Amino acid sequence: MGAHNLNQMDLVERVLAITREIEQAVSLADWPQAARLTEARSPLLISLTADQEPAALDMIRQIQAADAVLLADAETTQTELRIEFEAAIGRATAAGEYQRVARM
C-alpha cells in the first residue's frame, strides 16, 4: 500500500468518524451541531479519490448508508416541525380572532 492510499485511508476513517458524530448529534436532535459537523466534513468528502482500497470502499459504503438514514430523519423532522408550526400559527390566529371578537 502506497503513501497515497494510506493518506486516503486516514481520510476515509476521519470522514466516517465525523459521520458517526453527526449521527450522535441527530439522535440528540442537536441540528445546529449536526450542521456544523456536516460543513466540516464536506471538504474532506471532496478530497476523496476514486481509487480506494477495499477496506476504504467498505467504510465509504457505511458513510453512504448513514447519510441516507440521516437524510430521511432530517426530512421527517422537517415535516414534523412544519406541521407543528402551522398548528401554532392556526392557534395564534384563532386566539387573535377571539380577542378581536371579545373587544366588540
CA distance 48 to 73: 25
Q: Which domain holds residue 17?
A: 3-102
Q: Provide the total of helices (H) and of strands (E) in the chain, helices listed first.
A: 3, 0
Rounded (10°) angle between helices 31-47 and 3-27: 160
Contact 16, 63 (CB under 8 A): yes
Instruction: Kindly report, residue by residue over 68-82, the tens digit of the pLDDT.
Output: 999 999 899 899 999
What would the grid cell of residue 90 be?
392556526
In total, how many domains does the chain have?
1
pLDDT means over runs of 10, the chain (104 residues): 67 97 95 96 93 94 96 92 92 86 84
